[in-house]
Structure 1
Amino acid sequence: MDEYDFFFCPKCGEGLHPDEHRSLACNSCGLRMFVNPKPTNAAIIRNKEGAVLLVKRKLDPKKGFWDVPGGFVDIKETIEQSVEREIHEELCAKVESMRYVGSTNGRYLFGEINYYSVCMWFEVALDNEEEIESGDDVVEVAWFDENEIPWDRIAFKGVVDGLKNWL
């Protein structure tokens, strides 16, 4: 069951097993639990010189590693609203425009559980890139030329994949 990190039924506490419907099933109470990816967003932001903006993570997982601005989609939030919120939280900035470029998938280890994610990538232009500052879960913001991106210090494989796909 390496693709699932859930072993016990959240309803009755008995054991779960994978079934033929790509879900987890409980033989005791009949619950079927689907393990679906969590929606996330990622922003590719370039300045006038073409450099790419990266943020250094303040918190685990991957504290101290570089990432792109982005994060999880909240309940009752569209993907576009989540991009705007994350940009405001992490960069203290406003989105001027955004354009969807593609998606990646990944896994996100948090609290000893591996969560699957599907990340929607956007090219984002900011209202005023000169006023960017580190926000709530960011310790540093920096611009990198493409040939200077610290690939070995990027937080997640999905971020590496997205950057390599759309830069």
Structure 2
Amino acid sequence: MSIPDLEFVDEWTLPVRPESGLGAPTQMVDACYAVGSDLRWRRYGAELDIDHLKWTLSLHETGAVQLGVNSRRPRRRVRGEADGVRELGMQRYTVALHIELTLAEATVVIADIVQTELAGYPPWVQWPIQEKRLLLPVVVEGEAVWRDPRTGESVAPIGGLTA
């Protein structure tokens, strides 16, 4: 979903685990860092190219924030068979991102966007999983966590997943 006919106030491109946002809204940078940290863990399906992943945050005059994610790799010099690596390339994804979201809310929204994008298009990637179930990003007592939908258990804070 994009926002038509609005002016960008500013735009930032950040690495998968940004240390700082060079002026980007702090909670958005920290949310991208948390989600980017978890992308290495508990995936099932196609390999995911996260080494080249970049976040793009675009701030609009209304306070809406658009999220772009791109992991396009440089073209290879020699043609070959597909290597089975999923590239994540979503541009200008807005949904419910807004400058006024808390860190926990922004983290859950960004995690949900990435999770939906990975599961929605081939080659599919289920992320993150516990046993065979997708974990759900939710806010619990002001903290963004991955929750097991079967048990209701909070498995880990978003940004704190491990193998």
Q: When the two structures are superposed, what TM-score results if normalisation uses the length of structure 1?
A: 0.26
Give the greater-gyration-radius structure (CA).
1
Which structure shows the bigger proportion of residues in strand conformation? 1
Q: When the two structures are superposed, what TM-score results if normalisation uses the length of structure 2?
A: 0.26
